[in-house]
Structures are given as C-alpha cells and as structure tokens.
Structure 1
Amino acid sequence: MIGDFCSINGKLVPSADAKVHIDNLEYAYGFGVYESLKVRDRLLYFPEMHLERLLASAQIIGLDHHLDIEKIKDSLDELVKSVPQPSFNVKMMLVGREQEGDLYIFASMPHFVQRKAYRDGVKVITLDGERQFHHAKTLNMLMSYLAYRTARKKDAHDALLIDREGFIREGTRTNIFYTDGKTIFTPPTTQVLDGVTRRTVIESLEKSGIPVAERMLKADEVKTYHGFFLTSTSVNVLPISQIDDQVFAVPELVKTAIKIYSQYLSQYKKLRVK
C-alpha cells in the first residue's frame, strides 16, 4: 500500500487505522468482489467501466450494499487526490457483511513489466483450473493464487487455465488473445471475465479495421496458431513468446495490436485531460 490514506465506506482515513475485524467471516471466506484500476500521470483510466463491473460482480454473488456509481466515484476521486505519486494502481474491495457490504479503496505500487518483454514476449504455462464465477471478479482467489505462484516458480509471467473440457479460457489475472495471422481471436465473453482492457483492446482493434472474433481455444490446438498475447490493466497488451515448451515468434499482427492500443490510450488521455 502507498500513500498515507485509504478510503473506508466513503471516508478517508489514515492507512495505519485501516483494520478488518477478526470475526468478519465474510472477509475470511472471500465473500467479496474487487477491481484494480490504474493511474498514470495523475489520470485514472476507465473508472466508469470498472465501477459498473464492481457492482455487476456484487450482484452475481448476491452481495448486498447501498452503493451507487456516483458515491463510489466520489470516494475514488478523493483517494486518488490524496496520493502524491503520479502513477500507481488503485484497488477497490467490496466485502460482504450481515447488513451491507464494506467498501475499501487503497493505492498500491504498480508492477511494471520490463520494456523488452513487449518486444520479445513472455513465457506462460498452462495448468488445470477454472474460476467458479466467470463473470465476477471475486475475492475467492485461492485457485488463481496457487496457479500464479506455480507460474512464477517456473519463471513464467502467468498461468493459462484449462477448464474440464480442455479449453484455455483465461490467465489467473489476464485475458488471452491469439491469431492465425489474419484474424485476432479471444475466448467468448460468455466464458471469461470480461476484462476492461480486453474490452477496450477489442474496441481499438475493430476501429482500426482488424478482424476480431470470439472463439474457444483448445489447449491441444495451441501449436496451430501464429501468435498470442495477454491483456490486463497493468500490462495493457503483452505478447507471449512461449507456452509451456512451445516457442512462438511475435508476429506482425501482434506488434500492430500493441501499437494500436498504445495509440488508443493516448487518445483517451487527450480527451480526459483538459
């Protein structure tokens, strides 16, 4: 955590005073939802989309609260203004309680990927695993945590999760895209967490005239495709150079996707900064 303050239920309090009661079973059992946002050069990216998904996630798991987007946005803006650093990440957690949920907002240092990774790509591994609520970003992260820990032990950036039918749906904290050299594919929205970066990457590619289609990816079909990349709030568009023992070059279409999304973010910044 960075900064001297965090936000609890709409009130800015010193970070040292932020506490969770030991008898909060909902927190202990992961009955909650969260969002991770990024601030770069004092600009908060896509807050409305993140807030809409936070509340949608709460609805999916039946988490009661009395919040609305405007209330959360005010708390979010107040927290962002309290942080002196120009670039950081923000985490929002809505945790269930007997009566209504508690909303925590705090800042953290971003994990920046080395610049050469965008040129050369990163290694990922595959593991069996499937999130219970595909469309909700919940605090029940044990499976994802263990898979990510295994990936890091193997010097991999992330682990791609294979469901019981043999399909690769997503990473532990990323969405996946892949290409045959002409079209860029991604697993269907109905089968994965619809990441904000995933959504905006698709929008940027389609606006640039690059064909994008939703298609399930069989784990045993990986070698038939030309290239792959990951998306997330922290990494934007990150090419993959290796999946398990299979090595891939970073194709031109993936390099183009990286450039297009970078331009998309630059345009977003121009429209937001006045």
Structure 2
Amino acid sequence: MILKNNTITDISDFSEKIFENGLSIYEVIRVYNGHPIFLSDNLQRLDNSIKKSNIDIHVCNLHIENKLNELIRLEQMKEGNIKYVLHFTTDKTDEYIYQIPHCYPTEKDYREGVATISCQAMRNNPEVKYINNGLRDMTNRLLREHAVYEVLLIDRDGWVTEGSRSNVFFIKDGIFHTAPTRYVLPGTARKRVLDICKEQTFPLREERVAYQNLPSFDAAFITGTSPLVLPIKTIDHYPFSPDNRYLRKLMEIYFSLLNNVF
C-alpha cells in the first residue's frame, strides 16, 4: 500500500515514473524493530533539501512521523525501508510514503567487507536529496554488471566523494578521513559516525581523498540507511582491511547505540 496525500491507495496502481517530471525531494527511512530510526536526522536533512531548493514548506507542518508510524502499523513492518517523497510540479505538490525493496548486508559482509568499484560521476547539487534517475540508472547498471555492493563516485578532478547511495570513510594510521559536507549528500548514518568520532575523540579529517592515494589507506567503509556501517574489502583492485581495529571499535559503538536506543 501507499500513502498519497495522507490517503491509503493500492501500490499496484503506482509507478515511480511519475517522478521523471518535476522535482522530487525524498528521504529513505530505516525501520528497525518496528520503529523509524534516527528520524530526526532524516527530517533535518529533508528540511535542508527543501530550503536549498527555495521551496516554502515547513517540515514540522507535514506531521511526517505520524504518517510513517501509520504506514508501519498498516504494513505490520518490523524491519525495512520507507521512502518519503515530495513531488513538485508546476501546479501542485504531492506527498508519497511507501515501502521500497532493500538489500541489507549479510553477517559475512560485515565480517569480511564488501567489494566496490569506482565511477567518474558527481551529483549536480549534492546537498539536496532529490531523485536523479540518470545517475541511479547508470550506477544500478554497474552494480549488476560487476556484481559489487556499491559504486563510489570520483569527481572530474580525481577526488573520491561518496557512494551512489552511501557515504564513504577512509582510515590511515588511526585517523578517519571523509569528504566535507559541501561535496556530498550528508547521510544520517554519516552524521552518527561523525558524532561518535567527536564523542570518542577519534582523530578525524574532513577532507577529500584522491583516488590515486587509495593504496596508502589501511581501511575504508561506507555508511548509509541500508548498510549502516559496512567495511570495504576492495575498491576496484585496491584491497583494504575489514579487521582494522579503529574501524571495528567504531562499528562496536555504532551498533551498540542502535540496539540500546531502538
């Protein structure tokens, strides 16, 4: 089922092709143990996307949490992903809330890390989370062709910025590195990792990493709604250690926070 403008309809009558016209600002919310996790971070990012798009809508007036909980109740969700979309056309604004397919990492993925590849591409406006079918279609094709978990985006100057649906961190000599917020779509899991680094006084440098310098790093990981915090074992042909002690300590703290709160 789908909630369209707060009315329940059959999702079989719905297609995301409608988002090919106009502007669609969206969020993907993770449901864990029947609850939307870190929802305040999603709402803050949604509010930022709306403001950056010069749209006069106040997130607090949308009562999003109530609508999400209603869908969770109707779908009897315990775990999964929900997509929240505001679709703007010249004459109206529509709101859509619905479950989407997800691909969560396996225990083996968390233990051994996942394979990724790189691709020269970048978001036109990385601070706004909007539906970009061109980028998504291209990266989906690469994921299928290469049978990898994620595609990392490299900008025209050779900097590693983010994943197609995740943020990326690197570790070298116990120091965490990630691209500054202005170069990426700032994910909610990324925000939690940054908070942990500050709270635990883990050394952190918010600076871009050059693709050519990847071999000098000890470990790498991605963060996102589905992967949460997930080690990388390879980027193209470059290997990384999923057993890095700084990475494992961060993961321990992150998942402990998740389980204690939700």
TM (norm. structure 2) is 0.92
**What residue in structure 2 maps to residue 99 of structure 1?**
91
Q: Distance in 2 between matches of 1:157 and 1:223?
A: 20
Task: Work out whether residues 64 and 101 of structure 1, in 8 Å CA contact, stay in contact via their aligned partners in 2.
Answer: no
Give 1:265 deviation, angstroms.
0.9
Q: Does 1:144 align with 2:136?
A: yes
- The match for 2:26 among 20, 26, 34 is 34
- The Cα of 1:98 is off from its aligned counterpart by 2.0
SS at match of 2:43: helix
- Is 1:164 the equivalent of 2:156? yes
Q: Is the 8 A contact 1:31 1:140 kept in 2?
A: no
Q: Does 1:124 align with 2:116?
A: yes
Aligned pair 1:45/2:7, yes or no? no
Shift of 1:84: 1.5
Number of aligned positions between the proteins: 261
Q: Which residue of 1 aligns with 2:197?
A: 205
For 1:10-50, what per-residue CA distance to the aligned partner results, in whole angstroms no more than 9, with x for missing partners?
A: 22333345478x9x6xx323621111011111111022221
* Other structure's SS at 1:267 match: helix
Equivalent in the alignment of 1:13? 9
- 1:196 deviation in Å? 0.5
Structure 1 runs (4+) greater than 6 angstroms displaced: none
**Distance verdict in 2 for CA 1:63–1:247, change over 3 Å:** same
Q: How much has 1:89 moved relative to structure 2?
A: 1.0
Query: What secondary structure, in the 3-state scheme, does the structure 1 residue paired with 2:98 have?
Result: strand
Normalising by structure 1, report the TM-score: 0.88
What's the offset of the Cα at 1:63? 4.5
Deviations 1:157-204 (A, max 9, x none): 111111111101001001000011311111101111110010011112
Q: For 1:120 and 1:244, locate their aligned partners in 2 and report how far apart those are by CA, in whole Å.
A: 16
Q: Secondary structure at the match of 2:201?
A: coil
The alpha-carbon distance between structure 1 residues 190 and 9, as it changes in their structure 2 partners (threshold 3 A), is: same
Name 2:210's counterpart in structure 1: 218
Paired residues of 1:90 and 1:105 also in contact (CA < 8 A): yes
Counterpart of 2:261? Answer: 268
Task: Tell whether the 8 Å contact from 1:33 to 1:138 is kept in structure 2 after alignment.
Answer: yes
User: Greater CA deviation, 203-212 or 43-52?
Assistant: 203-212
Q: Take 2:15 and 2:101, find their aligned partners in 1: how far apart are those partners?
A: 20
Q: Is the 8 A contact 1:30 1:138 kept in 2?
A: no
Q: Check conservation: 2:21, 2:89, Cα contact below 8 A.
A: no
Give the 3 Å change call, closer, same or farther, for CA 238–80 of structure 1 in structure 2: same
Q: RMSD of the alignment, in Å? A: 2.0
- What amino acid sits opposite 1:163 in the alignment? D
Task: For residue 142 of structure 1, report the CA deviation from its aligned partner.
Answer: 1.2
Q: Percent identity between the aligned chains? A: 26
Q: Which residue in 2 is equivalent to 1:259? A: 252
2:100 equivalent among 96, 108, 127 = 108
Counterpart Cα distance in 1 of 2:236 and 2:22: 31
Change (3 A) 1:256 1:65: same
